[in-house]
Structure 1
Amino acid sequence: MSTLFRAVAALVAAMLFVFAPPSYAESALHNVRGFLPDLRFTLVGPGAKTFTQDDFKGKTVLMFFGYASCPDICPTTMAQLSQVMETLGEEAAKVRILFVSVDPHRDTPEILQAYVEAFDSHAIGLTGTEKQVADVARRYRVAYQIEKPSKDDPGNYEVAHSRGVYVFDGQGRARLLAADTESVEVLSEGVKRLLAQG
């Protein structure tokens, strides 16, 4: 295993984890081409339809893991990604935001899609069985932990999860990894470069 590969793995596992204070996260767009796996998943989206990576061929994909009940990180990141889409203008039609829920118990396809569409019309909410979600999270080294709910209120619990934005090009190749604290300007420039490359 190369030193660079280990560095990328450490970056994904450590720098982007939710427990790290935002003020300590570095502001940089990391080139991960060849060091993170291509876009691949089988999950459930709007209308309870099964989606795979093939549904997004030719699109640049911004993938983010979170959950609809998230009190701070997820809405902030989704707002940032929606601003990125605004800066792209007509080019936004070539980009999709994929919000993968790590809370499949509460996030039904309907709830999740309503949540993401409140931020951007190009966003797709994806969920699935526990195994489907775990498989995708494992593939991209995303850590998450669901707190044990109380007996009095089983639907009220929090979820700790990795944070970061994965960017895939139109061929589904992992190209960029950004901290959720990255600026809209830097993210936008990164996406524009990928779009220009076709």
Structure 2
Amino acid sequence: MKPRYLLCLPLLLLLAMGALLGGCRSEPLPLRLTNISGHMPDLDFKLTDDNGKAVTGANYRGKVVLLYFGYTHCPDVCPLTLAQLHVVMQRLGPLADDARILFVSVDPARDTPAVMHAYVNAFDKRAVGLVGSARAVEALSKRYRSAFTREPGDADGNYEVSHSSAIYIFDRDGKARLLATPSASQDDLVHDLHLLLDTGATP
């Protein structure tokens, strides 16, 4: 008759392998962008989308969100950023259907829902334009330590708005996870978004 510990050995080996594999799954995957987990508040706001519908951060639960502050009259950085994000979405393929680009206007005087709708849809179908009162937009900007300032206008009433250009990335639960600066490459964005969008990954 075999000793009891020999009879139990196959079960012990299976348990050990399970613990080892479980440990491997729990290790964080390598992220390339700035990890802001635990350093920024959850996605939360009350604004109006480019279809004129009142929305909150909760409306985008279940999606990976890329939050960006800008405006439609922006001469350079906004269109360049949105064009880059469109390429990133294209490279993600079907996974991009579970992502949303939220473009928050820092120019509420000129950016109506209709104006925002035409603007964001010219870049990507997964982009949503968001507008709100000056007070609401300022509060949201401060929530994520962003900033914007309206510059003096010219004789024709035209003006520019200086604004931060970081992209804030939230996971499906609305948790702030990553910060992408203007220097972030498309490769890094695609890499990290793929991890967040892959439901089997735990970055």
Shared fold (TM-score greater than 0.5)?
yes
1:45 Cα shift? Answer: 1.0
Summarize the alignment of residues 132-143 of structure 1 with structure 2, pairs less than 5 Å apart.
Answer: 132-143=136-147
Specify the alignment match of 2:84 in structure 1: 80
- Percent identity reads 47
How many residue pairs end up in the alignment?
169
Counterpart among 112, 115, 119 of residue 119 in structure 2: 115
Cα distance, 1:181 vs structure 2: 2.6
Shift of 1:38: 0.7
Q: Distance in 2 between matches of 1:173 and 1:51?
A: 18
**Range moving further from structure 2, 179-188 or 70-79:** 179-188
Could you tell me the TM-score, scaled by structure 2's length?
A: 0.80
In 2: Cα distance, 1:112 partner to 1:46 partner: 6
Structure 1 consecutive aligned stretches of length 4 or more whose deviation exceeds 6 Å: none
Residues in 2 aligned to 1:134 and 1:50: alpha-carbon distance in whole angstroms: 18
In structure 1, the partner of 2:57 is 53
Instruction: Report how far residue 47 of structure 1 moved.
Output: 2.4
| Cross-structure match for 2:156 | 153
Distance 1:195 1:106 in 2: 34
1:68 pairs with 72, 75, 82, which one?
A: 72
- The aligned residue for residue 105 of structure 1 is 109
Deviation (angstroms), 1:124: 0.1
Instruction: Work out the CA distance in 1 between the residues paired with 2:40 and 2:138.
Output: 17
Tell me the equivalent position of 1:42: 46
Alpha-carbon shift at residue 183 of structure 1 (Å): 1.0
Unaligned runs of 5+ in 2: 1-31
Q: 2:97 is aligned with what amino acid?
A: A
Cα offset, 1:161, TM superposition: 0.4
SS at match of 1:141: coil
Q: Secondary structure at the match of 2:51?
A: helix
Instruction: Point out where structure 1 has 5 or more consecutive residues left out of the alignment.
Output: 1-27
| Residue 173 (structure 2) aligns with | 171
Larger Rg: 2
C-alpha separation in 2, matches of 1:195 and 1:183: 18
TM-score in terms of structure 1 length: 0.82
Q: Show CA shifts across 1:33-67 (max 9, x none).
A: 00011100111112221111111010000111111
Alpha-carbon distance, 1:113 to partner: 1.5
